[in-house]
Amino acid sequence: MKEKVVLAYSGGLDTTALIPWLKENFNYDVICCCINCGQGAELDGLAERAALSGAAKLYIEDVVDEFCDEYIVPCVQAGAVYENKYLLGTSMARPVIAKRLVEIARKENAVAICHGATGKGNDQIRFELGIKALAPDIKIIAPWRMTDIWTMQSREDEIAFCESHGIHLPFDASHSYSRDRNLWHISHEGLELENPAEAPNYDHVLVLSVPPQKAPDAETEVSITFEAGVPKTLNGKEMKVSEIITELNRLGGENGIGIIDIVENRVVGMKSRGVYETPGGTILMEAHAQLEELILDRDTMEMKKKLGSQFAQIVYEGKWFTPLREAIQAFVESTQEYVTGEVKLKLYKGNIIKAGTVSPYSLYNESLASFTTGDLYDHHDADGFITLFGLPLKVRAMKMAELKKNNLK
């Protein structure tokens, strides 16, 4: 009986070519595993394609709700944004994929897991750190780094290899954007995007959205409620998180929300440029942040911003299954107890406009904040506060003046 390998399978040309390649070079039975994180129509026809390519078995695992509830929601609550722009769409999906690959490998008694990530990207790190953390005994096969036996360097090479092994599928040899899609976002790299001096051809690039210039001339109103930091309703209708994101993707996409063009610093040391569409995620992150503005005290918010940035880096670097991620997430969850309320927004040509926020736990006090004098605040109290708050500055200025007077500086 042959040993088994679990292949992270998308049905694209790269992972299709890997099926005969693994059989030929390792004599494995290939168990294909496609993890559905919300990539939609990309899953169509996979069973037939895997069978025609020589796979022993195909798993299509639906993890959409797990992805939303256990990976997206913690990132939203943390306000996790990498390098001030990237909402971690690809990064946060990799740990749930790695986890399910390991589960299938255990179920099938597989000795190895294979992925098709390139040797230049972040995904090889994210997949392999996840697998190592959950199954240190399982062998990892990364063909793009095995240049002694992986000799295909182009789509034409891969198509020829497939055809030589009796796999005749309608793959296109022309080069297009390299894309990664899940429920949270879609990323685009390649072609004109490889030159930072060149503007993206948005008419060709965008999949989920329209450019802001082509969005409707009318505002779209949105209302989102949260309970303990978790989104619960959209426009008055109770929904699962995955359903809220799906509908926000539609509304945000129609209004040109959440399109970014970024040059980011990869974990492997190089810079890369990509265009990301995260319409629903951008709205959800903004709504959550607006609710926190009302509820969190200043010190907690400042600490949360610092740890949120670190949380984003942890997720980006593929370190989900680590004590540090768990510790920061525990802190973040402790801050979410009272993040409950309703956020109203207007979407207009790429902009998210505040339209009112309410919470039973709001720390905003109109009596204190207004320009009229209320019972809780006496203007004279500011005298002593400013004296003490500014005392270090005054002491230093006095010392500098003394030194200057005595020609000691």
Q: Which of 10, 29, 91, 94 is catalytic?
A: 94
Task: Give DSSP secondary structure letters for 346-394.
Answer: EEETTEEEEEEEE-TT----HHHHSSS--TT--TTHHHHHHHHHTHHHH
Q: Which amino acid is at 142?
A: A
Check if 309 is active-site.
no
- CA atoms of 298 and 310, how far apart (whole Å): 19
Spell out the SS3 assignment of 20-72: HHHHHHHCCEEEEEEEECCCHHHHCCHHHHHHHCCCCEEEEEECHHHHHHHHH
Check if 126 is active-site.
no
Q: Which amino acid is at 151?
A: T
Q: How far is CA 386 from the centre of its chain?
A: 43
Q: Is the dihedral angle over the CA atoms 54, 57, 62, 66 positive or is it negative?
A: negative
Spatial contact of 246 and 280, defined as CB atoms under 8 Å apart:
yes
Q: Which of 14, 62, 65, 69 is catalytic?
A: 14
Q: Which of 91, 123, 180, 209 is catalytic?
A: 123
Burial 132-146 (b: 16+ CB within 10 A, else e): ebbbeebeebbbbee
Bridge partner list, 262: 274
- CA atoms of 262 and 270, how far apart (whole Å): 13
Spatial contact of 318 and 126, defined as CB atoms under 8 Å apart:
yes
Q: Is the dihedral angle over the CA atoms 163, 169, 172, 178 positive or is it negative?
A: negative
β-pairing verdict for 139-141 and 29-36: unpaired
Check if 299 is active-site.
no
Spatial contact of 282 and 186, defined as CB atoms under 8 Å apart:
no
| Strand order from edge to edge, sheet including 186-189 | 178-181, 186-189, 271-277, 259-265
Spatial contact of 251 and 216, defined as CB atoms under 8 Å apart:
no
Check if 178 is active-site.
yes
Spatial contact of 357 and 341, defined as CB atoms under 8 Å apart:
yes
Q: Which of 178, 223, 242, 272 is catalytic?
A: 178
Task: Report, as residue numbers or ranges, the catalytic residues.
Answer: 14, 94, 123, 178
